[in-house]
Amino acid sequence: MNNKFYTLPLKAINLITNAEHKKCSINESIAHYIHLITTSYFGECSFDDSFGCSIWEIDFDNLKSITTVKEAIVESLSTSLKKHEKRLVNVKINVNVKQQEIKGNRMKKKVDILVEGKVKKTNEDFSYIEYFYIGPLSY
């Protein structure tokens, strides 16, 4: 496979000076972009207020049920991926949220995210798994 996609973190100085920048496959590039979407909050990108995910909006909200949190993340991520990640088709998102004890006495919600679909260009199956702890967000 032709590696013509840039890796994250993006090193702008390499692009400006025409220096070599590390490249990756289309699958890795899509995975990096999904990670960027899930770790960005709405309004963080000044050029597009719709870029991001609602994980940040529910980060400290302990009053919402786990089902409500799950539904909000699926809806938000689905909308963001449809708008911003055009290289994937037939996208399915599965989110699981559960309470988990961290370091003995701290409770956090663990958010497991599974994104599946097909890479439009290659017709290959695509799968991306990531998890976060919210309250406050960490990964």
Predicted confidence (pLDDT) per residue in 66-77, tens digit: 788 889 889 999
Given a cut of 70, is residue 93 above it in pLDDT?
yes
Nearest to 86 by CA among 116, 119, 114, 58: 119
Predicted confidence (pLDDT) per residue in 107-139, tens digit: 778 889 999 999 999 999 999 999 988 776 555
Predicted confidence (pLDDT) per residue in 29-40, tens digit: 999 999 999 988
In whole numbers, what is the pLDDT of the chain averaged over residues? 85
Q: How far apart, in Å, are the Cα atoms of 1 and each of 10, 14, 26, 121, 124?
A: 21, 23, 8, 11, 12
Amino acid occupying residue 13:
I
Predicted confidence (pLDDT) per residue in 52-71, tens digit: 888 877 766 666 677 888 89
Given a cut of 60, is residue 22 above it in pLDDT?
yes
Q: What burial class does residue 57 get, using C-beta atoms within 10 Å of its C-beta: 0-12 exposed, 13-18 middle, 19+ buried?
A: middle
Whether the predicted model's global pTM rises above the 0.85 cut: no
Domains of the chain: 5-134 (3.10.450.40)
